[in-house]
Amino acid sequence: MSHVLSKNSYGKSHVRLSKVIRHGDRHDLMELSANIELEGEFAESYTKGDNSRIVATDTMKNTVYALAANHKLDSIESFAQSLVEHFLQKYSHVAAVTVSIQQDRWLRIDHNHPHAFVSGGDEKRICKISRRRTGTATQRTGGIDGLVVVKTANSAFTGFLRDQFTTLPETSDRIFGTSVRAEWIYTPGPHDFNSIYDRSRSRIIDVFAKHKSMAVQETEYEMGKAVLDACPEIEEISITLPNQHRIPINMQPFGLENKNEIFVPQDEPFGLIKATVRRG
Amino acid sequence: MSHVLSKNSYGKSHVRLSKVIRHGDRHDLMELSANIELEGEFAESYTKGDNSRIVATDTMKNTVYALAANHKLDSIESFAQSLVEHFLQKYSHVAAVTVSIQQDRWLRIDHNHPHAFVSGGDEKRICKISRRRTGTATQRTGGIDGLVVVKTANSAFTGFLRDQFTTLPETSDRIFGTSVRAEWIYTPGPHDFNSIYDRSRSRIIDVFAKHKSMAVQETEYEMGKAVLDACPEIEEISITLPNQHRIPINMQPFGLENKNEIFVPQDEPFGLIKATVRRG
Amino acid sequence: MSHVLSKNSYGKSHVRLSKVIRHGDRHDLMELSANIELEGEFAESYTKGDNSRIVATDTMKNTVYALAANHKLDSIESFAQSLVEHFLQKYSHVAAVTVSIQQDRWLRIDHNHPHAFVSGGDEKRICKISRRRTGTATQRTGGIDGLVVVKTANSAFTGFLRDQFTTLPETSDRIFGTSVRAEWIYTPGPHDFNSIYDRSRSRIIDVFAKHKSMAVQETEYEMGKAVLDACPEIEEISITLPNQHRIPINMQPFGLENKNEIFVPQDEPFGLIKATVRRG
Amino acid sequence: MSHVLSKNSYGKSHVRLSKVIRHGDRHDLMELSANIELEGEFAESYTKGDNSRIVATDTMKNTVYALAANHKLDSIESFAQSLVEHFLQKYSHVAAVTVSIQQDRWLRIDHNHPHAFVSGGDEKRICKISRRRTGTATQRTGGIDGLVVVKTANSAFTGFLRDQFTTLPETSDRIFGTSVRAEWIYTPGPHDFNSIYDRSRSRIIDVFAKHKSMAVQETEYEMGKAVLDACPEIEEISITLPNQHRIPINMQPFGLENKNEIFVPQDEPFGLIKATVRRG
């Protein structure tokens, strides 16, 4: 019997980095975690243990550090782009490079402090830049992960299908909690990535707060439309919304009434709603 | 050989709860997780499997739900207090009750939205109320856990002991990152717990941002003093600060200079600094 | 500007389940977590908030419970298959169903106890069954996730590329630790899924222990070949191996020699090596 | 107003270490994570930022590495003891040292492989050695954390108190799942710590599997007694058992019967049962 190595790739994950950009009396802080993945002529390492074409993943890590020293790190997208270019230019036997980065969210203390920051939580800004030496154009995505929101009004869920396994009651007034993951595809051309991120995040939060939701699905689609309207630089957006349920507690066994006030938050199971919206 | 059951207690942990307080056109949202622990005459359940005095932990969970329905949940301290009272009054064979609660941090969207909230991250407000039927007074603590902050200036670490295992260089300018855990003991008497929490949190952040730190220890002590000064209702405060290191990267092997700009954040190992400050 | 909902799907994630199969004097225990995802004519829920074709994710959860009652749960693959069939047969407006399941690893206490089990750790057995009503055949994969292994001999890494950012020394004797994720594609036809799983897992561990590794890549490829050789029911296998580094500590600053004995285990960053092997 | 620094300590946490002990054709592997905490004359670092008596936590980390080079690491207790002695002997201004260590569980592949190991899961062996320069004797504890077990027979819970908030039905046949944490206090004198650990772990598992449980409390007490009987070197043992509930699913809404076969595993809330058993 013969075997074929039909696909292979390798790289370094979770390369973490802080950069302090020192502007006179004011500092900027960028903290990120990068993943690098290479495809190319590496088969002989797999099939023969010949490492002569292998860029050690430790070298990839060092490359992230070294390039960060001379890059202004104005956005994770531009830094990822420079890493992609480095590996493609340096090694002719590399066929494709993918760099994905997630950035921590630091907020200035008192909105304005020159060098002290408080965590904005586990929410991340994300990007992925992928380029193949030949053929297709560079693929560039940006996004948000872990934007946790909840609303206590203007969310209903009625009129759904009922079958022999349906026990869920209809509700015209439920709690809607979720953790937004949004990933958008950039149109070609130079962009102000930070401005796009700001507009997208702001529109997503705005729709969440204002939309009278008849379904998580509907709110998700409205978010996608709002981002496309606010950002001509985005050609497509995919959003994933877990439904982080708050279940009303049945108080009748205790002789009490639950006036839609007391709920149990549940981690699992959870509904998971996905949509991709693009320009028509 | 004979054995003695020298200590026992049991309870329910991680009872999660959401309460929506509906004020006409504006909602408040309280989300919390409670732990309940009972001590008392329970030995025969351990030694004989006789459960006749055992309050099922499932009943404790239901009690949290039921009491929440009629409690205004204005602070986690007041709710914990009411749970403690319930079990002591209801069951004469219960000798001591401890209730600890941690509250999620929800921020109004746009600082002002009537019913939509964004997560303030993993930071928690905490409290613990413990009362023994006889003897000592009720013990009441409040606090903060997981307040993550970082500063990129005004932190030094010099003049420490050097021995044969010391390799750490002195530094007059390092990054100082930590996740504050503070727990304070309340003086007796009725208090405005929410006001105390607001003043404490504000003072801790303020000291972190402004203090010229010669050691994590020193900043910690300054935080403790500032909280005591701002809150006469607090008689003692204990603070724990993990030192969430950012290590400067040695760029010399790459022929580059690191102008104190590029660091690796490290999860472990970490320094852990503790202090308790009380009125003199 | 117009928008198009170009893709959508939704479902329920992390539906957990225990089933005790009671054979006279001996019990089997199956614990699993299932994810269900539907595609179909759901667009009007997104675009109009019309839920009349929406199967509530709560109903999906109940369906998992209900079908488990009458299914023998002999393998996660067969249970996933029955869930896929249920949704396709029940709802003509469902175009595609994907069910993925992960199973906990419970080991009988003393290898043989009739009803008491000890955890086999975080390792999971996994599967994914996906069927589209029209067109392509059912896609069926099985696999293993989180099989954590380490070896202290017979692992080298030499002869790799060196550039200006390479600082990693060559080593002919390093520690090799990883957490295996393997996912294989089944050939068509009825199979004994449990037997395939046993043979695959056994071959992966065996190759890890015995192979003289010149690269993680090489060991990964050998694992893939061994599984294909042992399991004619598998047509392709993809393996992902994180390199869970143990870094030798430089003892020279302490006046000591490290005889390749003392290492620091590091969670991040980590190398990540991927390969897909199929029959030639 | 004046303030008093009433308590202080500091140290290094999560110092991870692998040691390979190379015996000719067979290797032993020890992987551990150590926490070190010092008390002493450190107040001036807190109150004045004077670090001249501060042993940097980085130095503590290096000390763990350096001492590991010359220690045989036959047990975590003996290694912790040597770290305690080191800091007390080296620094006369250190008043007390506490070292706690947790050890990973590695099992030889095929029970017998000379240098390849498979993870035994998240279960840890633990110890804590604490010594104050003056006064009390050294405090030494050993233990187990995260030993996850489940049984599907011989567990009942009946005859408990019922009040207006009790909804839990009695059951004569439930699933009993838990994650054992046991911590024992050693008697004075030299001991074979590894043998004690083996006997304790074996007795705990044995009691879990064989005991007909009328309450988690009862099983816990039986475990404590069995360990004391098997280990004269232990004077007291504290055990904590979370009740990792599997809730029977109500199948009646689906027109099905649940013959005590189908359950939902739940992470929270959970009962938490504690006991300390000592010689009478």
CB < 8 Å from B in window 8-67 of C: none
For helices D216-230 and D193-210, the axis angle rounded to 10 degrees is 140
Amino acid letter for position A88: L
- Whether the Cβ atoms of residue C208 and residue C149 lie closer than 8 Å to each other: yes
Which member of C14, C214, C280 has the closest CB to residue A3?
C280
User: What tens digit of pLDDT does each residue of B187-228 get?
Assistant: 999 999 999 999 999 999 999 999 999 999 999 999 999 999
**Whole-Å CA distances, C164 to A62, A66, C16, C167, C171:** 10, 10, 51, 8, 19
User: What tens digit of pLDDT does each residue of A163-178 get?
Assistant: 999 999 999 999 999 9
Catalytic residue, candidates C19, C27, C57, C187: C57
For helices C57-70 and C76-90, the axis angle rounded to 10 degrees is 120
Q: Is the Cβ pair C262, D117 closer than 8 Å?
A: no
Q: Evaluate if residue B170 carries a pLDDT over 80.
A: yes
Which member of D37, D48, D275 has the closest CB to residue B5?
D275
- Under 8 Å CB pairs connecting chains A and B tally to 165
Backbone angles phi, psi at C207, to 5 degrees: -60, -45
- CA distance linking residue D217 with residue B51, whole number of Å: 9
Which member of C27, C246, C262 has the closest CB to residue D69?
C262
Q: Is the Cβ pair A45, C217 closer than 8 Å?
A: yes
Low-confidence ranges of chain D (pLDDT < 50): none
Q: Kindly state the average pLDDT of the residues C20-41.
A: 96
Q: Evaluate if residue C1 carries a pLDDT over 90.
A: no
pLDDT of residue A1: 63
For residue B136, name the pLDDT band (cuts at 50, 70, 90): confident
Residue C225 is encoded by which pair of tokens? 């070949």
- CA distance linking residue C218 with residue A100, whole number of Å: 26
How far separated are the first and last CA of chain B, in Å rounded?
Answer: 50
Q: Kindly state the average pLDDT of the residues C254-261.
A: 94
Strand partners, D6: none
Q: Chain D: nearest CA to B114, how far in angstroms?
A: 30
Q: Reply yes or no on whether A151 is catalytic.
A: no
Q: Is the Cβ pair C217, A37 closer than 8 Å?
A: no
Residue C218, judged by CB atoms within 10 A of its CB (0-12, 13-18, 19+), counts as buried
- CA distance linking residue D250 with residue D256, whole number of Å: 9
Question: Of A176-185, B153-162, C127-136, C201-210, where does mean pLDDT reach its minimum?
Answer: C127-136
DSSP state of B231: -
DSSP state of A176: E
Residues of D designated as active site: 12, 57, 245
Q: Reply yes or no on whether C57 is catalytic.
A: yes
Residues of B in contact with A153 (CB under 8 A): 27, 114-115
Residues of C in contact with D32 (CB under 8 A): none
Percent over 70 (pLDDT), chain C: 100
Q: Chain C: nearest CA to A201, how far in angstroms?
A: 19
For residue B58, name the pLDDT band (cuts at 50, 70, 90): very high
- CA distance linking residue A30 with residue A101, whole number of Å: 12
Instruction: Judge whether B129 is closer than 8 Å to chain D, CB to CB.
Output: no
pLDDT of residue B2: 87
Encode burial over D240-268: b for 16+ CB neighbours within 10 A, e otherwise: bbbbbbbebbebeebebebeebbbbbbeb
Q: Is the Cβ pair D17, C123 closer than 8 Å?
A: no
Q: Neighbours of D (≥3 Cβ pairs closer than 8 A)?
A: A, B, C
Q: Which residue of B has its CA nearest to C250?
A: B167
pLDDT of residue C181: 98
Q: Is the Cβ pair C255, B165 closer than 8 Å?
A: no
pLDDT of residue D2: 87
Give which of B228, B229, B206, B208 is closest to B218, Cα–Cα.
Answer: B208
What is the pTM for the complete model shown? 0.96
- Name the helix (H) or strand (E) containing B90: helix B76-90
For residue B135, name the pLDDT band (cuts at 50, 70, 90): confident
User: What tens digit of pLDDT does each residue of A60-91 get?
Assistant: 999 999 999 999 999 999 999 999 999 999 99
Q: Neighbours of A (≥3 Cβ pairs closer than 8 A)?
A: B, C, D
Q: Is the Cβ pair D224, B3 closer than 8 Å?
A: yes
Q: Which residue of C has its CA nearest to D32?
A: C265
Q: Is the Cβ pair A52, C166 closer than 8 Å?
A: no
The Cα angle at residue B31 between residues B26 and B35, in degrees rounded to 5: 150
For residue B1, name the pLDDT band (cuts at 50, 70, 90): low
Taking the CA atoms of chain C, what radius of gyration do you get in angstroms? 23
Residues of D in contact with C25 (CB under 8 A): none
